[in-house]
Structure 1
Amino acid sequence: MHAARGVSETPAPTDLKADDAGAPVVLLAGGGALPDLLAAALERRGRAVRILAFRGFAERALARRADLIVDLIDYKRTLAALKAWKPAEVVLIGTVTRPKPIAFMGALSAYRNREEIAAILGSGDDGLLGGVVRLIEEEGFAVAGIDQLAPELLAPQGQLGAVAPDSDSWSSIARGLAVLDSLSPFDVGQASVICAHWVAAIEGPEGTDAMLRRVQKLRRGARLRATHGGVLVKTAKRDQDLRVDLPTIGPRTVVRAAAAGLQGIAVGAKTTLIVEIERTVQEADRRGLFLLGVDSRTEPPRVSSR
């Protein structure tokens, strides 16, 4: 793992001092814009914030203001910081890549037996994230989610922009939600693309942007006609722990969806993060796409098999 450039050397755990200004929220921060957005939202609410940034993942601007920078698998240093800061809540936020099993095993071998660590590593992304949450909680710290601390960052329910979906798009949304619900037990992606009532793509480990590029290639190769339109549907998995790995969209998602020839985007209301929501809505309006927050946590819709 590479060190973030332009960042000063981090202090040793013995240099850490407990927070005297009240129990803070500690952000265990990976990459992307979300850690900075959450920190700003918490500060607007008057909350004290401490940032522990993961080296090589956190954005450079966030790393510069971080209280501590550690390697992703440096559990000893992370735990020392949490014990020093005595947080009210801990939040796992931002993107990271899955660590190599041998490195993960070595980092945690002093804290957990090898069988438990192997079980966590072999349980897929959901199991790995859940295992990390359990490790933190078992040390006596409360792990919170964005839905608890800054719900304004989540998609509201209803039409978010100027463009409304037509009846075919509503049918595609219902089908997409049903597909994602049926796949929930298998720990696959959180998004699908439905075109003309059939499943054009399902998100895999490559992520939403790569899935949309795949749809764009299908469109260019005439496997999808322009008249097929299409909808991106993205939402949390059934029974997903909303404290980790929330589905996320932003302005770039809208640009990718438009390039793929889609008519709009539907996301789970109150379970999906929207990065820079105002700009995202403006981008959707500018490109003629609808943007919706839909209730995906109720009984999944029933759709015909046509």
Structure 2
Amino acid sequence: MTAAALGVSSPVGVIAGGGAMPFAVAESLKARGLDPVLFGLKGVCDPAAAERFRHHWITVGQYGRAKKLFRQENCKNLVFIGTLVRPSLSEIRLDWETLRIMGRVWSAFRGGDDHLLSGVGRIFEQDGFRLLGLKEVAPDLLMPEGCVTRRMPDRGAMSDVARGREVLRALGPFDIGQAAVVIDNHVVGVEGIEGTDSLLKRVADLRASGRIRAAGGRGVLVKAPKSGQDLRFDLPTVGSRTVEGIAAAGLAGLAVIAGNTVVADPQAMIETADTASLFVVGLPS
């Protein structure tokens, strides 16, 4: 889709956290005729990769400086992408602009990750910026609907998928995690603050210790946004590393929500899954 079709004006400010996704988003914007400007978070964003784009460096807590740079670059449209470990308020060096809105910042911190990101988003919007999601700026990075691998999920796997979605819907209001592992309709693990990779490692360890006795090649990792989540922020992300973890945990495959899941490296993910005889399926939302 072109920039006009997406309804997004150029340039677009990419507030860049860790990992490869901020740069994939920047490349996707360029492919659509949009000019990306990276605002890399110091100590988090990869400096070498940022050099490929017009960029500035900002710090958490320095909202006044960030706002000045956004306006200097005429970035009315912004997208936040990449990994970021939530800092404690005591670790943040605040500038005067941040102190001025400290009540709103404190309110945003009093809750889970989605509450925090939505609260920060409202602060940006109250200052005239438009916060976008990947659907607006990089739809090509989102999981399509249907099975993308040679192996297809069987009836047992789809039953596990349905149970996983039920669990995640129930947990969503508590802002806990975005993933669950289900084997033979039995929930054996739910993602917490440790993240998906560590969840899969925990399942592999449980299998190795005999706590999981189901035969290998059964069970599914299910990932989905939290119910009520602001879909501009913190969408579930999968890639070849996720698939490698699924294989190590002895599962059959991966099921995610189409259109609401980021795929970091689509071709590599599919090739890794096909090599391991796993399925990867995008579910209707």
TM-score (normalised: structure 1): 0.86
Distance across 1 between alignment mates of 2:57 and 2:136? 25
2:178 aligned residue: 190
Deviations 1:216-235 (A, max 9, x none): 00000011124162100001
Q: Is 1:148 the counterpart of 2:154 in the alignment?
A: no
Helix, strand or coil at the partner of 2:281: strand
Distance (whole Å) between structure 1 residues aligned to residue 25 and residue 10 of structure 2? 17
Aligned to 2:33: 46
| Partner residue in 2 for 1:241 | 230
CA contact (8 A) 2:178 2:224 kept: yes
Q: Secondary structure at the match of 1:291?
A: strand
Instruction: Indicate yes or no: 2:46 matched with 1:59.
Output: yes
Q: Distance in 2 between the 1:69 and 1:193 partners?
A: 38
Change (3 A) 1:25 1:100: same
The residue aligned with 2:245 is: 256
Match of 1:178 in 2: 166
Deviation at 1:109, TM superposition (A): 4.5
Matching residue of 1:91: 79
The answer on whether the counterparts of 1:232 and 1:257 sit within 8 Å (CA) in structure 2 is: yes
Superimposed CA distance per residue, residues 109-142 of structure 1 (whole angstroms, 9 cap, x where no aligned partner) = 433143x332211122111101110111111010
1:279 counterpart = 2:268: yes
User: Is the 2:153–2:279 contact (alpha carbons within 8 Å) kept by the matching residues of 1?
Assistant: yes
Match of 1:123 in 2: 111
Q: Which moved more, 1:56-65 or 1:132-141?
A: 56-65
Deviation at 1:103, TM superposition (A): 4.0
SS at 1:28 equivalent: strand
- What is the root-mean-square deviation of aligned Cα atoms in Å? 1.5
Quote the Cα distance in structure 2 between the aligned partners of 1:88 and 1:163: 44
- Displacement, 1:86? 1.6
User: Is the contact between residue 73 and residue 103 of structure 1 (CA under 8 Å) also seen in structure 2?
Assistant: no
Tell me if the contact between 2:60 and 2:92 (Cα under 8 Å) persists in the aligned partners: no
Does the residue aligned with 1:68 lie in a helix, a strand or coil? strand
Indicate conservation of the 8 Å contact 2:70/2:76, yes or no.
Answer: no
C-alpha separation in 2, matches of 1:110 and 1:294: 43
Q: Distance in 2 between matches of 1:63 and 1:76?
A: 22
1:24 corresponds to which letter in structure 2?
A: P
* In 2, Cα distance between equivalents of 1:109 and 1:45: 34
Partner in structure 2 of residue 27 of structure 1: 14
2:65 is equivalent to residue 77 of structure 1: yes
Question: Unaligned stretches of 5+ in structure 2?
Answer: 1-8
Amino acid at match of 1:257: I
Q: Quote the Cα distance in structure 1 between the aligned partners of 2:272 and 2:194.
A: 24
Partner SS state of residue 218, structure 1: helix
The 3-state SS of whatever aligns with 1:110 is helix
Tell me if 1:213 matches 2:179.
no
- How far does the alpha carbon of each residue in 1:175-230 deviate from its partner, in whole angstroms, 9 at most, with x for none? 00111011110001000000111100000000000000000000000111241621
1:232 aligned onto 2:194 = no
Q: How many residues align?
A: 274
Once the 2 structures are TM-superposed, how far is the Cα of residue 106 of structure 1 from its aligned partner? 3.6
SS in 1 for 2:222: strand
Structure 1 stretches of 4+ with a deviation exceeding 6 A read none
